[in-house]
Structure 1
Amino acid sequence: MAHPRPLDRPVGCAVITVSDTRTPDTDQSGSLIQTSLTAAGHRVLDYHIVVDEPDLIQDLVIQWGANTALDAILVNGGTGIAPRDTTYDALEALLEKTLPGFGELFRHLSFQEIGSRAMASRAVAGVYRGKLLFSLPGSSKAVKLAMDTLILPELPHLVSLLRG
């Protein structure tokens, strides 16, 4: 089977920051994701900050899953192992397909920057209702690493694969 043609339009994205303390004024990671996407020519169609409660995270992803203008949902925060870190658990339950390579590569790249602490990240990616779903740590350094080295270089290609 031939590879699909590259997208001839910007990718429609939505951003979720999972945090019990961040506000739009203090959300550096959410802002970084949005800035990176728009600088790459993509569209940010929605943005929300949600407290780290699995039901609230899932409700928003389910709502956005029905939005035909969205191609990708990028989530940051709540990917560790602390008691309040529930993002991975909430999203993993929704994923119809996983992209194990994303988490593997992210942890490998993180290891090169922060050492063995990278093993505590539960960064994950996959597909939900025909949309890419990326879950990143809340650290701005981690977000920059994931956006610059993994997500932005492959986002149009991955969306084109989903579109067939």
Structure 2
Amino acid sequence: MTQQPHPDATAMTVTCAVVTVSDTRTPGTDKSGQIIQQLLLATNHKIGAYAIIKDEPADIQKQIESLSKNANLDAVIFNGGTGIAPRDTTYDAIEKLLEKTLPGFGEIFRFLSYQEIGSRAIASRAVAGVYQNKLIFSLPGSSNAVRLGMEKLILPELTHLVSQMRK
């Protein structure tokens, strides 16, 4: 049986940006970005921004810096570009900017992924942390990985993490 954390004192709506990192996806083919948005809305959170950007480190960092200036956003959820292929630069671009990291996010994500896909989970470079008082999450781009990360990690802890950041 999974240990449940203590409940949060009050319900909170969190406003998130969803960013898909891909050289090929369009709004019509961005299944993972759509899943993230649907899951956020289904749990009474808001979408404050949505974008698809190329897998270029400078573009990823500009996107984070731009979104961090948006006072209405609490969190940014990236998907895509977390593997080890030459064009997978999301982890590297994000990790360099994070002021605080949440190492447990990547560790538990890989553990949960291992239960689903086996040893291939070692290639995932999922990462999370804080930049300019915004929660930053980065998930692999596959729809299964996005659903796993959202349902098992991000959604259960989103309001708690935002409330901790605001203290």
Do Structure 1 and Structure 2 share a fold, with TM-score over 0.5? yes
Cα deviation 1:6-64 (Å, max 9, x = unaligned): 45531010010000000000000000000000100000010000010010111011000
| Paired letter, 1:27 | D
Q: Which residue is equivalent to 1:17? A: 20
Say if 1:7 and 1:157, in contact at 8 Å, map to a contact too: no
Q: Which residue is equivalent to 2:131? A: 128
Among 139, 144, 149, which residue is 2:147 paired with? 144
Number of equivalences: 161
| Paired letter, 2:48 | L
Q: C-alpha separation between the residues in 2 aligned to 1:109 and 1:9? A: 26
Say if 1:6 and 1:156, in contact at 8 Å, map to a contact too: no
| Paired letter, 1:14 | A
1:34 aligns with 2:66: no
Q: C-alpha separation between the residues in 2 aligned to 1:67 and 1:91? A: 18
Map 1:4-153 onto structure 2 (within 5 A).
6=9, 8-153=11-156
Please state how far the C-alpha of 1:135 moved relative to its aligned partner. 0.2
Q: C-alpha separation between the residues in 2 aligned to 1:6 and 1:124? A: 27
5+ long unaligned stretches in structure 2: 1-5
Please state how far the C-alpha of 1:117 moved relative to its aligned partner. 0.3
Q: C-alpha separation between the residues in 1 aligned to 2:10 and 2:163? A: 6
Aligned structure 1 segments of 4 or more residues deviating by more than 3 angstroms: 5-9
SS at match of 2:16: strand
5+ long unaligned stretches in structure 1: none
Q: C-alpha separation between the residues in 1 aligned to 2:66 and 2:26? A: 21
Cα deviation 1:107-142 (Å, max 9, x = unaligned): 000000000000000000000101110000000000
When normalised by structure 1's length, the TM-score is: 0.96
When normalised by structure 2's length, the TM-score is: 0.94
SS at match of 2:13: coil
Say if 1:10 and 1:41, in contact at 8 Å, map to a contact too: yes
Give the aligned CA root-mean-square deviation in angstroms: 1.2
